[in-house]
């Protein structure tokens, strides 16, 4: 077993903790938060032996062999750089940082012998993996275009909270909190993106730092295109839907429920027939109260194997940095009002 410390008492405690415990490969030995009294009580309730009111103390503790980070983007680079500098593998949230400078600092601190993984969860959902297998097997022929709509109302927007999830400057807003997921899975499904355009919107009469809706057009190197609309300000929204239109058929992933991870249905239509459901049962997910835990548990198992083998973790810093570059391109496109070309290869 590997002794793990978790930085973050919300998502880290509610999702990372049960996910890392699920496979029996990890021993969660420490929890860090920004309130020493509250963190101690939460650690006690969760059966975690050590607690810290300072992330540095957790990272530096000799009993902690690896670190999982569940903090806002502006805090991640400092935590990751310190842990990697001590030779401790890190499990990071997305996006890696507020900007490319922070993401680059993490890349520079990493080494081939000290894996780092990024928590891109959607490709770990069984229905998504079935969809990927069908696409790779040519079930709908060459992809013509991909249409994605993701319309929900998150708690931060509904309650008009001022936190990183609503703040562009803090690395959040709709780009950092939602679109970063989409930019990762778009390339996971369809290959490298060669360019994009983006428009970003806030709430009417809202704070200028807030972003709640994004509309993007993206071009794959293959010649296919993608339209992406994401909003976290959609009361009773239509949910999350991906439509893959190919030469020989159409594949659809759709989730109209309130759980971001749980509830996706997969449908396939092949010429000349209509849609038929594709089975995608997830036995692991059925055992958890939160739909986010099973995807993270799968990533945690791969992270463990990467550490033991001294191999790169996937998705790792290459994928995380790539998404950061696409996020920057989207923001530049919005600010300049024009198309932005994006090289598919990440500079070393």
pLDDT per residue rounded down to tens, the chain (348 residues): 999 999 999 999 999 999 999 999 999 999 999 999 999 999 999 999 999 999 999 999 999 999 999 999 999 999 999 999 999 999 999 999 999 999 999 999 998 789 999 999 999 999 999 999 999 999 999 999 999 999 999 998 888 888 888 888 888 899 999 999 999 999 999 999 999 999 999 998 777 778 999 999 999 999 999 999 999 999 999 999 999 999 999 999 999 988 899 999 999 999 999 999 999 999 999 889 999 999 999 999 999 999 999 999 999 999 999 999 999 999 999 999 999 999 876 555
Helices marked H in 178-233 = 180-190
Please measure the distance between the N-terminal and C-terminal CA atoms of the chain and give it in whole angstroms.
Answer: 33
Beta bridge partners of 32: 7, 52
Contact 104, 330 (CB under 8 A): no
Which runs of E-coded beta strand occur in the chain? 2-7, 26-32, 50-52, 66-69, 90-92, 116-118, 143-151, 193-201, 213-220, 225-231, 239-246, 249-255, 265-270, 275-277, 340-341
- Residue 22, pLDDT score: 96
CA gap 87, 1 in Å, rounded: 17
Q: Is 244 left (phi over 0), alpha (psi -120 to 50) or beta?
A: beta
φ, ψ of residue 294 to 5 degrees: the values are -60, -45
| Beta-carbon count within 10 A of 101 CB | 10
Contact 228, 148 (CB under 8 A): yes
CA gap 102, 108 in Å, rounded: 10
CATH class in words for 123-282+324-341: alpha beta
Q: Is 219 left (phi over 0), alpha (psi -120 to 50) or beta?
A: beta
CA gap 241, 208 in Å, rounded: 29
- Residue 346, pLDDT score: 55
Element (H, E) at 103: helix 100-109
Q: What topology is assigned to 2-121+293-315 in CATH?
A: Rossmann fold (3.40.50)
Cis peptide before 330 (omega within 30 of 0): no
Q: Give the total residue count for the chain.
A: 348
Beta bridge partners of 3: 27
Contact 276, 267 (CB under 8 A): yes
* CATH 3.40.50.720 location in the chain: 2-121+293-315
* CATH 3.30.360.10 location in the chain: 123-282+324-341
Question: Of 213, 229, 212, 214, nearest to 146 (Cα)?
Answer: 229
Cis peptide before 315 (omega within 30 of 0): yes
**Beta strand pairing call for 143-151 and 225-231:** parallel
- Model's pTM, two decimal places? 0.95
| Beta-carbon count within 10 A of 35 CB | 11
Q: How far from 113 is each of 67, 171, 313, CA to CA, in Å?
A: 15, 29, 11
| Residue 38 Cα to chain centre, angstroms | 27
Q: At what angle do helices 180-190 and 317-336 cross, to 10 degrees?
A: 110
- Residue 167, pLDDT score: 85
| Residue 38, token pair as written in the block | 């509250």
């Amino acid at each position: 077993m590997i002794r793990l410390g978790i930085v973050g008492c919300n998502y880290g405690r509610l999702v990372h903790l049960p996910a890392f415990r699920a496979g029996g490969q990890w021993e969660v030995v420490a929890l860090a938060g920004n309130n020493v009294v509250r963190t101690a009580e939460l650690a006690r309730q969760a059966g975690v032996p050590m607690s810290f009111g300072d992330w540095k103390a957790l990272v530096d503790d000799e009993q902690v062999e690896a670190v999982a980070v569940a903090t806002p983007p502006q805090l991640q680079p400092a935590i990751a750089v310190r842990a990697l500098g001590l030779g401790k593998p890190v499990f990071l949230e997305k996006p890696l940082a507020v900007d490319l400078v922070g993401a680059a600092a993490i890349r520079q601190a990493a080494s081939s012998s000290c894996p780092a993984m990024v928590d891109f969860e959607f490709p770990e959902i069984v229905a998504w993996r079935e969809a990927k297998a069908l696409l790779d097997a040519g079930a709908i022929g060459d992809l013509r275009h991909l249409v994605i709509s993701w319309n929900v109302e998150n708690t931060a927007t509904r309650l008009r909270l001022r936190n990183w999830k609503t703040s562009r400057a803090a690395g959040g807003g709709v780009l950092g909190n939602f679109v970063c997921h989409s930019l990762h899975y778009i390339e996971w499904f369809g290959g490298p993106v060669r360019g994009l355009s983006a428009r970003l919107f806030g709430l009417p009469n809202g704070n200028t730092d807030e972003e709640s809706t994004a509309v993007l057009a993206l071009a794959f190197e293959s010649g296919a295109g993608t339209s992406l609309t994401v909003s976290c300000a959609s009361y009773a929204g239509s949910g999350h839907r991906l439509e893959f239109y190919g030469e020989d058929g159409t594949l659809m992933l759709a989730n109209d429920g309130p759980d971001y991870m749980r509830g996706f249905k997969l449908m396939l239509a092949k010429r000349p027939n209509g849609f038929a459901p594709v089975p995608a049962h997830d036995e692991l997910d059925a055992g958890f109260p939160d739909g986010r835990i099973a995807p993270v548990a799968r990533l945690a198992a791969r992270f463990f194997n990467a550490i033991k083998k001294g191999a790169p973790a996937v998705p790792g810093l290459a994928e995380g940095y790539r998404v950061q570059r696409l996020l920057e391109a989207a923001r530049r496109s919005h600010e300049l009002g024009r198309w932005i070309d994006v090289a598919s290869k990440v500079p070393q």
